[in-house]
Chain A
Amino acid sequence: MIAAEGLSVRLGRAEVLHDVSLHVRRGEWLAVIGPNGAGKSTLLRALMGLAGHRGTVTLDGHPLERLRPRQRARLVAYAPQTPLLPPDMTVFDYALLGRTPYIPYLGRESRHDRAVTEGVLARLDLTELAGRSLDHLSGGERQRVVLARALAQQAPVLLLDEPTTALDLGHQQQVLDLVDRLRIADGLTVVSTLHDLSLAAQYADSLLLLSRGRVAASGTPAQVLTEAVVGRHFGAHVKIEPGPDGRPVVHLVRGGP
């Protein structure tokens, strides 16, 4: 569904991504993990064509550079790590912006666009908040609203940059469970960055470990998350055990080297 071959990105003089390749099939969830500054967010931006890159990205079989911006926006939706939420805008108006790729440049949204948006809000339990302005939302609500905007785009690929930042434990679970349900119900392909390794292992089908802009490891969570690999790339002393469902769980060990 989404694939990259030999992806490299330079920002100024520095090469922040080097020769990254990935392949995510329809309906799969790929989590991009790695230490701070490894290039995780840049990878997501490059997958949308927002960061000038060398190498190729294919979306649903189409080379990214051949797609016009609107066509691309119908294939891939994006939720950034720190979204800008205009304080006076209502939840409904914000989610409705997700319909932009279907609306002519100076046109206005159709009844269908409104119906889609209402449907998305209902699915995310946001109907009651529809008329509320964005500065009157809690952290968990904000995350769901951003997700609603991305879903209103009705794109088969969802790119999520740290969807659980600044959320407490319960809300982290809520948001990721929600993404998982939507993924299974709609056959969405999800690529997300996640800094919490146990969460990444819990939800993703496969992991891609980035370190200093290069792919350090990729594969199933059990293949990628070993004590040696995490120790080397994160500089952390950890203990990794299989959890109740067999997926690895990462523990920090106090007083590591």
Chain B
Amino acid sequence: MRAGKARPLLVAAAAGLLLASMLAGLLGGAADISPRQAVLQALDWLPLVEVDSGLAAVEQALLADLRLPRVLVAATVGGLLAVAGAGYQGVFRNPLADPYLLGAAAGAGLAVTVVIVALPGLATSIPVAAFVGAVGGVMLAYALGNTAGRAGGTATLVLAGVAVTSFLTAVQTFVQQLEVEQLQKIYSWILGDVGGGWDQFFLVLPYAVVSVTAMLAHGRMLDVLSVGDDEAASLGIRAARVRLAVLLAASLATAAAVAVSGLIGFVGIVVPHIVRRIFGGSYRVVLPLSLVVGAAFLVLGDLLARTVMAPAELPIGVVTMFVGAPFFVAVLRMTRKAAT
């Protein structure tokens, strides 16, 4: 009997999908590099491995300084958003919960807009502003939700998130209208970008490690939470405490993702559902596989974003929503047929 375990074949398939998509991400683009060369070069980058990929120095630099960090940032951000979405869905027992539910997106949007408008010279501080704004938005929603309703209750928390989001969005729109010249810059941030290079990757990495570790550790607890607060309590678990821990970790993950990539929609809501449909409902399976599938999803999304209209680039947020929505519907239809 399997309990909290996914079938190994499907796990291997998910991991294979991630590796394949990362390889595709390295290959796709303006310069012509063969899959074999890319694999050899990737091996060469590993410590203690020396292989000759036959790539010229320029091509090596292109891979190492542009494409590799880009693929890694996309994978990290995709994984973070998907795992945070799964966590939010578990905490709120609501399939529509997404990482931006509690005001993270609106908070980050406002902070970034303020920085772009008020301190146009400080482009480097955008990730910091986004991070602070996202954390601030969530904290505001949380504080509001706890004062307005029963401590640890979820309904008031979601409503507080809605209130905070619309309020901060209103302020953000107002600030943005003050400097219409900056509109394009603000929008290009809002629509998402994973091309920030190694700096961005190392910026997000520590937060990613901490938040993902904390989330994955709580898989079983989220399963307990899914049977209801009273029953969780009857099993000796303090639901409010579990909820707070997962919310903290998921919000940290969201803030880290938002900081390096802007607002990328749909990953956090669609990937956990796809995973749940295919691999079953236990959070011990859904959380780690959301991480893997979310990473693959965003790497492929980025690949599309920079190849479809090459040399121009589409905003990645547009791609995830444009491709993600029909893909999601297809998965829903497919698994419904399989189930009956």
Contacts and interface: CB of A to CB of B under 8 A. Distances in A.
A89 B223 contact: yes
A107 B280 CA distance: 21
Contacts of B227: 83-86, 94, 97, 149
Contacts of A97: 223-224, 227, 235
Nearest to B228: A84
Given A69-B238, A89-B223, A90-B280, A96 B3 contact: yes
For this complex, into which size category does the number of interface residues on chain A fall?
35 or more
Nearest to A71: B236
A245 interface: no
Interface in A99-134: 100-101, 103, 105-109, 114, 118, 130-131, 133
Most chain A Cβ neighbours within 10 Å, of B1, B218, B237: B1
B217 interface: yes
For this complex, into which size category does the number of interface residues on chain B fall?
20 to 34
A68 B233 CA distance: 11
Contacts of A45: 230
B281 A89 contact: yes
A153 B232 CA distance: 12
Interface in B271-290: 276, 280-282
A69 B233 contact: yes
A87 interface: yes
Given A50-B230, A83-B228, A106-B218, A90 B235 contact: no
B236 A92 contact: no
A147 to B, nearest CB: 13
Given A48-B233, A130-B1, A80 B228 contact: yes
Interface in B182-240: 217-218, 220-221, 223-224, 226-228, 230-231, 233-238
A62 interface: no
A83 B231 contact: yes
A151 B123 CA distance: 60
Nearest to A94: B227
B3 A86 contact: no
Contacts of A77: 234
Contacts of B223: 86, 89, 93, 97
Contact of A101 (B4, B236, B280): B236
B2 interface: yes
27 contacts: A48-B233, A50-B230, A50-B233, A73-B236, A80-B230, A80-B231, A83-B231, A84-B228, A84-B231, A88-B280, A88-B281, A89-B282, A90-B280, A94-B227, A96-B4, A97-B223, A97-B235, A100-B235, A100-B237, A101-B236, A103-B220, A106-B218, A114-B1, A131-B1, A131-B2, A133-B280, A133-B281
Going nearest first, the 9 A-B pairs with the smallest beta carbon separation are A88-B281, A73-B236, A78-B234, A70-B236, A84-B228, A100-B235, A69-B236, A86-B226, A101-B236
Interface of A: 45, 48, 50, 68-74, 76-78, 80, 83-90, 92-94, 96-98, 100-101, 103, 105-109, 114, 118, 130-131, 133, 149, 153, 159
Given A73-B234, A93-B282, 18 more contacts: A69-B238, A71-B236, A72-B236, A76-B234, A77-B234, A78-B234, A80-B228, A84-B227, A84-B228, A84-B231, A88-B281, A90-B280, A93-B4, A97-B223, A100-B224, A105-B221, A108-B220, A131-B1
Interface of B: 1-4, 93, 217-218, 220-221, 223-224, 226-228, 230-231, 233-238, 276, 280-282
